[in-house]
Amino acid sequence: MPAPVSYHPDHGVAVLRTPNSCYALRLGADGSPRHLYWGRPLPVDGLLALPAPRSPAASSFEDEAAADELGIQTGARFGPAGLQVRFADGTAGAQWQGAEPRIEGGELRLRLTDRRFPLAAELCYRVRPDTDVIERWTELTHTGTAHDGPVTVTRLDSAAWTAPRLADYRIGHLVGGWNSEFRLHRDRLPVAETVLTSRRGLTGHHAAPWLALDDGTATEEHGEVRSTALAWSGSWRITVHRDPVGRTTWTGGYGHEGLTWTLRPGETLRTPVFAGLFTADGFGGASRAWHAYVRTAVLPQPLGDLPVLYNSWEATGFAVDHAGQLRLARLAARLGAELFVLDDGWFGERRSDRAGLGDWTPRADAFPDGLRPLADAVHGLGLRFGLWVEPEMVNPDSDLHRAHPDWVLHSPTRDATALRHQLVLDFSRPEVEAWAHRTLDRLVRDNAVDWLKWDANRPFTEAGGPARPGEPGQSDPDRVWIDHVHAVHRIMDRLRADHPGLRIEACAGGGGRVDLAVLARTDQAWTSDNTDPVDRITVQHGYSQLLPARTMAAWVTDSPNPATGRTTPLRFRFHVAMAGALGLGGDLTRWSEEELAEAADLVAAYKRIRPLVQHGDQYRLTTEAGTTAVHYAAADGTEHAVLAWRPTTHFGHPAAPLRLPALDPGAHYRDLGTGRTHSGALLHHRGLDLDLPPGDYASRLVHLRRTDG
Ligand code: DGJ
């Protein structure tokens, strides 16, 4: 078994191996590491013999460095540079004097030092056991003294990735907006630079820091796919460059254009991880490999089932009080919920979105004895107690803002833009971070909080005013774009460490901050404020490209749906939400006895398939005529759950049999709903008859158990 990371000094070649792929790079004569290979496993002698990537035309006009592992601005390089710097004397761009590779604790580190100036970049690579994901990041250090002056950084990407020469290139990426997150687009990659970005200070609803590249022929279960994801919860940029001579590279990292950061002597900037994955098993194979990586290497608490939660937001909005919340909690407990989450409206003068944010003490008129009596009553019902917070934000009409008007992101000479009547607190200021941590820590402790829903309902504006040297966090104003995000991560990490039972749900006006970095310190993400089940099928399809179902919060809410006005049956709403971490979010006081009874049955059905949905392997399935399905298989292949949905009937035609390619053709499976046993070969090759009821919004849950060996 070859080592996961190796360096071959005679050839200047480093090789990383995962179970189903390998990655190789060569140190170039000019000191820049160049990409050699990323694809199916190859023997080392083949990799060592590979020629260095060269421009196809020998011309003084051609870019010779398209395959840099991290692009710089010097030499015949004309693509997007991942490292852009300016030194104290005005010189732009690094020029390396050779790399020193070392392998440390399973990591490959290539240290590059500038020929003239006090700058070192370490390109870092890590392979995690049992996944095909390669993690990459960069550490940039000012190696000089005060005498050398600062180094100004205008771009510091985590890594650049290179695709092999393909007949064509197609990019899969996620687009959206509030109420319409995670919509998958697959577009032919233009011969151009394509920029995916968020300039919002948050990961963003509009684009996700993930992409998948193929030659245009990959399908759900076949074909080579190269896919990357950036672990960052603030602004980011990924630039994909398909050049006119057929090469494709992409460079990505935090920040967006126009920001500068000052690197001080002795200081190191460490970028977020930009993870990459190769698979030969199509888009489904890529997603399953990402899901396994997220479960084993990213999530802080990968084991155990996530609870069925009830959240009061869609039922009560801001009109919360002790009695009303307890009434909902009792009904939720009756349905089988295991966690009750009190959402917005419980604090300060928060009777609408116009006031109170920042004042994290319970509203005296709604909770006269504080929150503890509600928490105790909820615990008494056998449910865990969850609480909504939005710690990074403040309403100008709040005691916090009146006391600390300077704590918000602002520029003294510019008007601050209020969005949803709120401003963003500057978490890059140590005293603001300390206040936020203290406030949350006390809330959790005093109220026996088991679950925090951490929301953020607006992007940054007017971030980075004039430098105010000497003031904490203000000497390098653009640093707020990075430092704020690190402070959010740090607070979450500290809360988890100090309260080991605490779980956190990531939220930013729905799915505005969902990424590998936030999921490293949270347990699930609120996918979208749009809970319409038809729209959710699309949203969930996109979400599942990178992230596993256990992280995807999915509520059943009232019908007609508040976002779309669409009326759908309870069963259909449940069957769609059961494909993720099931929650309930409707006004249960208005549900009929029949609806409550049906909902309780469906919650119980979810609990029976929950281990499959939350820990199993996911296969996305489609039949013709608008029926889609998702199949979750236990790792040992003994149990399977299939959820199939047909929002609209077409000509009254029955759905085609649903083929289940993940089943073992040599085995037999019993349908626990009908009691019928089917041969695996039949389900695999011919398909399962879904027997969907006639009409729109038809759905079915099938739970299969293997009956033999
Ligand atoms: C946005 C969230 O996505 C909603 O679920 C809810 O918590 C509201 N904020 C509360 O203001």
User: Six-digit token pair at 669?
Assistant: 């499976």
- Asked about 45 being catalytic, the answer comes back as no
234 lines ligand 1 (CB under 6 A): no
Measure the CA–CA gap between 309 and 367, rounded to whole angstroms: 22
Radius of gyration of the chain from Cα atoms?
Answer: 26
Residue 201 CB-half CA count within 13 A: 27
CA dihedral 531, 537, 541, 546 (to 10 degrees): 20
Kindly state the helix (H) or strand (E) to which residue 380 belongs, with its residue range.
helix 372-380
Looking at this protein, which amino acid is placed at residue 603? Answer: V
Top mutation candidate among 342, 393, 421, 457 for ligand 1, by most atoms within 8 Å of CB? 457
From 179, 311, 343, 419, mutation site for ligand 1 pocket: most ligand atoms within 8 A of C-beta:
343
Say how far apart CA 154 and CA 70 lie, in whole Å.
14
Residue 455 falls in the annotated catalytic set: yes
Give the active site residue among 359, 455, 478, 483.
Answer: 455
Please give the average per-residue pLDDT across 190-199, as a whole number: 98
Q: Is the CB of 457 under 6 A from ligand 1?
A: yes
Residue 526 beta carbon below 6 angstroms from any ligand 1 atom: yes
Tens digits of residue pLDDT in 300-357:
998 899 999 999 999 999 999 999 999 999 999 999 999 999 999 999 999 999 999 9
The pLDDT tens digits for 10-29 are 999 999 999 999 999 999 87
Q: What is the pLDDT of residues 228-246, one digit of tens each?
A: 999 999 999 999 999 998 8
What ligand 1 atom has the least distance to the C-alpha of 388?
A: 7
pLDDT of residue 440: 98
The single residue of 343, 529, 535, 617 carrying the catalytic annotation is 529
Residues 6+ apart with CB under 8 A from 601: none
Peptide bond into 300 cis (omega under 30): no
Ligand 1 contact via 388 beta carbon (within 6 Å) = yes
- Residue 55: pLDDT band (50, 70, 90) is low
Alpha helices (H) along 447-563: 480-498, 533-543
Q: Is there an atom of ligand 1 within 6 Å of 511 CB?
A: no
User: How many secondary structure helices (H) and strands (E) does the chain include?
Assistant: 12, 37
Q: Per residue in 477-516, pLDDT tens?
A: 899 999 999 999 999 999 999 999 999 999 999 999 999 9
SS3 264: coil
* Residue 609 burial by Cβ neighbours in a 10 Å radius (0-12, 13-18, 19+): buried
DSSP for 121-177?
Answer: EEEEEEE-TT--EEEEEEEEEE-S-GGG--EEEEEE-SEEEEEPP-S--EEEEEE--
Q: How far apart are CA 563 and CA 565, in angstroms?
A: 6
The finding on whether 343 has its CB within 6 A of some atom of ligand 1 is yes
For 229, the token pair is: 């994801």
Q: Among residues 548, 611, 603, which one has the least CA distance to residue 571? A: 603
What are 362-375's pLDDT values in tens digits? 999 999 999 999 99
When pLDDT is averaged across residues 382-391 and rounded to a whole number, the result is 98
**Is the predicted pLDDT of residue 709 greater than 60, yes or no?**
no
Span from the CA of 505 to the centroid of ligand 1 (angstroms): 12
Q: Which amino acid is at 345?
A: G
Query: Is residue 473 predicted with pLDDT exceeding 60?
Result: no
pLDDT band at residue 655, thresholds of 50, 70 and 90? confident
For ligand 1, whether the C-beta of 346 sits within 6 Å is no
Nearest CA to ligand 1 atom 6: 313
Does the structure show a pLDDT above 80 at 591? yes
Whether 145 and 32 have beta carbons less than 8 Å apart is answered as no
Q: Tell me if 114 CB under 6 Å of ligand 1.
A: no
686 CB neighbour count, 10 Å cutoff: 12
Q: Which one of 178, 341, 527, 529 would you pick to mutate in the ligand 1 pocket, going by the greatest count of ligand atoms within 8 A of its CB?
A: 529
The residue whose C-alpha atom lies closest to atom 9 belonging to ligand 1 is 509
Instruction: Give the sign of the dihedral formed by CA 67, CA 73, CA 76, CA 80.
Output: positive
Q: Is the CB of 460 under 6 A from ligand 1?
A: no
